[in-house]
A and B are shown apart, each in its own frame.
Chain A
Amino acid sequence: MSDGNQGGVDLKVVGQRPIRPDGVDKVTGRAQFGADFHLPGMLTGRIKRSPYAHARIVSIDTRAAEKLPGVKAIVTSADFDAGAAGEVEAGESHAAMKEVAANCLAHGKVLYQGHAVAAVAATLPEIAAEALDLIEVTYEVLPHVIDVEEAMAADAPVLHDDMYTKGVTPKPGKASNVAAKHVMGRGDVAAAFKAAGVIVEGRYETAAVHQGYIEPHACVASWGADGQSTIWCSSQGQFLVRAMVAKILNMPLSDIKVIPAEIGGGFGGKTTVYLEPVALALSRKCGRPVKIVMSREEVFLASGPTSGAVMDVRLAARMDGKITGAEMTLKYQAGAFQGSPVNLGLMTAFACYDVEALALTGYDVVSNRPKVAAYRAPGAPMAAFAVESAIDDLALKLGMDPINLRLLNAVRDGAKTVYGATVRYSALVETLEAIKASPHYQTPVGKGQARGVAAGFWFNVGGESSAAVHVDEDGGVTVVSSNPDIGGSRASMAMMAAETLGLPIERVRCTVADTTSIGYSGSTGGSRVTFATGMAVVEAAQKVVADLKRRAAQTWECDIAMVEWKDGVATCTDPAKDVKPLSMKAIAGKTAKTGGPIAAEVSLNAQGAAAGFGVHVCDLEIDPETGRTTVIRYTAAQDVGRAIHPAYVEGQLQGGAAQGIGWALNEEYVYGKSGLLENASFLDYRMPVASDLPMIDTILIETKPNPRHPYGAKGVGEVPIVPPLAAVSNAVSRIVGKRMTSLPMSPAKVLAEMDK
């Protein structure tokens, strides 16, 4: 492995598998999650939610509830700043604050079942529950629409009468549920189809699916008498929570301190706020701390799933398998407010392939469902499901091996993406080849089984991050990260600092700081933390090394160029000096004599994030009489740059694959005729349980470290949820004997197809 990275040849910590620093607390129950925080005098907050899919709020009468002893505050959207506007960076997108506010507490209309209408804070949970029943909301029920294509129809009930489709000229004369039309493309698509040796086409459909994090949303908010406030919460970004709450309650940022709790899963779903502004508004009204914790039912009803989609795709190819052109139309559910990741679907759909002519259209469509939130590689898995299914059709039509077909079309460095970026440091070809050579792919498909293959892409981002490295007086080191750790990033931060400083990993601890204790950082999202915040950590550690060398030179009275820092020890290379090496511990113990405490903080805007590619292969079997699918063997290979902590990278691949398999087979939001969600529980929202899956084998491709990162890291957390939908479906289609075009492929659906 040769590259131009710092320390690329002789890494001591990076690439090892030290014990997870947050592991013991998590398995012993000592870790403090969002709901674990208590304050004296704290009240319980509860939220009154809409029982209807779509209704006008005629009135909210809180008088009876206010009279109930123990009720201390009640808020509605009138308690939010009416002028809340503008946008806030939210992980992988920008959030329009007017809509975030109206999602936290409905304004004028409720747009989905479970939409928050009012909130109460009371001395006991039972009193809060009773108060909710006493709040009288009068609704005028409106016709609703759930299905994305029905929502696009001319006669559909319109959710927002001020929504005119963006991206069409001239501006439409009528409000509709189509928030935006996105168009992207290049080349002469018509010519490509005219000249094509072979054409495949299909229409695909996926259901809305939830991130399914184990920890429901939870927060405690405490308003100070002088307006200075503190929020403890589980989120993917303490700075994001601060920014959103400040806008919604019209407060200066510096008056809000957000303390991140340990987080029990996010997967993108915790890159917005639901409870925090409500809890702080309640606390502001009564002067006492307020805690709100969602139930699982509330999580399903009112926190973001990701979009269900309807997709049409057509491919034109030569008889040798080279894809020459493609057309695609994506219709993504946004939920009740605009902002589906359909544009990301368009950008990623063909990102694995070098296709000359592309015509891509996307529609962002609102309907009476909860507002979607980011979910691992937002927008990409659905689009990849359609494209990778179409490519599987092409392989079948041409009688080609699915890996060879993908190799023929794979993007290589220098290629241009449809959104204008140039492909760099990519290892899709190596990843495909690794799968081809893998023991899994080399083993013949078992009797009665079938195999599916699919590829996937995700951008991975960089952006604004801060980190600090503090040398403790005993020579140990504290790393201060600005990002909540949702995937093991504390371990990676500590490891990169240890590597740079030449310390054993046991001497380096990493903590996640609150908004007042470290510089600003974007959220934990976009697979950016190990890359961007990691870069800040390494640069801060490098500053510390420079400072340590300076102090050694000062002590030895030698030129700093004559000081070498290695394995945590300064050595003087000046043969004229007869001095003993100075250890970290020795320097740290005498800082008063050399210039004071040793610490460095770096804030940066990390550029040069490298995209990642994944290729998955899935073997499965189906009970022909019940339609029930069993995944037998699964391998995920991924272009990861360099794995800082390989076990956590493997964990990301396994977790993404597990969620993708659930998406493919059983997960879905089920709505009844009245527009109400019928399966708002883990019993009937069927995520895979451990016994449903085989061990997910992983192959980490480290042949192309990212030269823009000190240790070669690329983002790894999102790519692995992109290929599984099609990897599973391509295998199921093989057994069923026809193309499966609709997810989830539940037993009933598969049996119906088999029996047709």
Chain B
Amino acid sequence: MSGVDYLAPASVADAVSALRASAGSARLMAGGTDLLVQMRGGRAKPQVVIDLKRIPGLVGIRCEGGGFVIGGATSGAALGEHVALKAAWPGVIEAANLIGSTQVQGRASLGGNLCNASPAADSVPALIAAGAVCIIEGPAGVRAVQVEKVQAGPGKTTLAADEILVAFRLPARPARSSDAYLRLIPRTEMDIAVVGVGVSLTLDAGGVCNAARVSLGAVAPTCLLVEAAGAALVGTTLDDAALAKMEAAVSEACRPISDKRGTAEYRTKVACVLARRAALIAKDRANA
């Protein structure tokens, strides 16, 4: 790993120009828990590493317009300690806090988890279900993109080579709303999701669901938003029939591969099971 330059710019503009100047030989680094592992393993060979954590706004959480703005490089540990954020978005936070171990939590960020573009990234289905929006900045200025539009395939994103994910925006939450994230791993930690499912929903005063989003991880080349699965819940009290319809939509959406981590059949089955369980947890939380 000799001969790698390390830059820690103090502004997004500086980081963007460093990216441009490197002509593709630079990599952005948030926590580095993916990047450094890839560099050690020889899969990533950047000449320049651009650390994002010195840039104001990249680390930290602010409340804005009833919602939250989370810096793209904020660590999982910091997310877990934010009481208001955790109360509003328990599913997003439990997903972020599942990443790795205590040591990894001190570094790993939502931005890194998303931009590493693993279909099994834990926080991504939760963020998609939450309807989170990415604030992305590049030479042409700032744009806002739904999280589900960022992953383009394993290891690939729709960000341009000189763009930076600055922050995530989580919308304001209506009353009786909540979310949940569940994953299946054969072990209890330090493992990679065989399937991950995020569900976010809102109930009306009568307990009828009036908005729901369901997102799946590790069952396709990217994390998926399954609109039909969310739609199956809307207008229902999450009764058995509604849940069965949601499961059918989930099953329909799954396009998994069979690999060392699980067969396609198994992944599809478990996606349905976890979607049902996550929906019921989100409902209980919304009612609480």
Task: List residues of chain A with CB under 8 Å of any chain B CB.
Answer: 124, 126, 129, 625-628, 665-666, 670, 678-679, 683-684, 686, 688-689, 691-692, 746-748, 751-752
Contacts and interface: CB of A to CB of B under 8 A. Distances in A.
B260 A679 contact: yes
B43 interface: no
A380 to B, nearest CB: 25
Contact of A626 (B2, B184, B187, B263): B184
A684 B262 CA distance: 11
B274 to A, nearest CB: 8
A689 B189 contact: yes
A747 B188 CA distance: 13
A684 B261 contact: yes
A683 B191 contact: yes
A683 B192 contact: yes
A626 B190 CA distance: 19
12 contacts: A124-B2, A625-B270, A625-B273, A679-B260, A683-B190, A686-B187, A688-B187, A689-B189, A692-B187, A692-B188, A748-B266, A751-B269
Interface in B18-45: 42
B186 interface: yes
Contacts of B188: 689, 691-692
Chain B interface size, as a band, is 20 to 34
A670 B2 CA distance: 34
Nearest to B42: A129
Given A626-B273, A628-B184, A751-B266, A126 B2 contact: yes
A678 to B, nearest CB: 5
Contacts of B190: 683, 689
Given A670-B260, A679-B260, A683-B192, A628 B186 contact: yes
Interface of B: 2, 42, 184, 186-192, 194, 259-263, 266, 269-270, 273-274
Contacts of B262: 747-748
Contacts of A628: 184, 186
Given A626-B184, A684-B261, A747 B266 contact: yes
A746 B186 contact: yes
Contacts of A627: 266
A751 B184 CA distance: 13
Given A625-B273, A626-B270, A748-B263, A686 B191 contact: yes
Nearest to A671: B260
Nearest to B277: A625
A689 B266 contact: no
A666 B186 contact: yes
A627 B274 CA distance: 13
A129 B262 CA distance: 34
B71 to A, nearest CB: 28
Nearest to B267: A748
A684 B260 contact: yes
Given A686-B191, A689-B189, A747 B260 contact: no
A129 B188 CA distance: 36
**Top 8 closest pairs, chain A to chain B, by CB:** A748-B266, A625-B273, A691-B188, A670-B260, A678-B260, A666-B186, A692-B188, A679-B260
A679 B259 CA distance: 10
Contacts of A683: 190-192
Nearest to B184: A626
Contacts of B263: 748
Contacts of B266: 627, 747-748, 751-752
Which of B184, B187, B194 has the largest count of A CB atoms less than 10 A from its CB? B187
Contacts of A129: 42
A625 B247 CA distance: 13
B187 A666 contact: yes
Which of A129, A679, A686 has the largest count of B CB atoms less than 10 A from its CB? A686
A125 to B, nearest CB: 9
A747 B261 CA distance: 10
Which of B2, B189, B269 has the largest count of A CB atoms less than 10 A from its CB? B269
B268 to A, nearest CB: 11
Nearest to B192: A683
B260 A665 contact: no
B186 A686 contact: yes
A317 B270 CA distance: 42
A545 B262 CA distance: 63
B269 A665 contact: no
B47 to A, nearest CB: 14
Contacts of A689: 187-190
Nearest to B1: A126
Contacts of B186: 628, 665-666, 686, 746-747
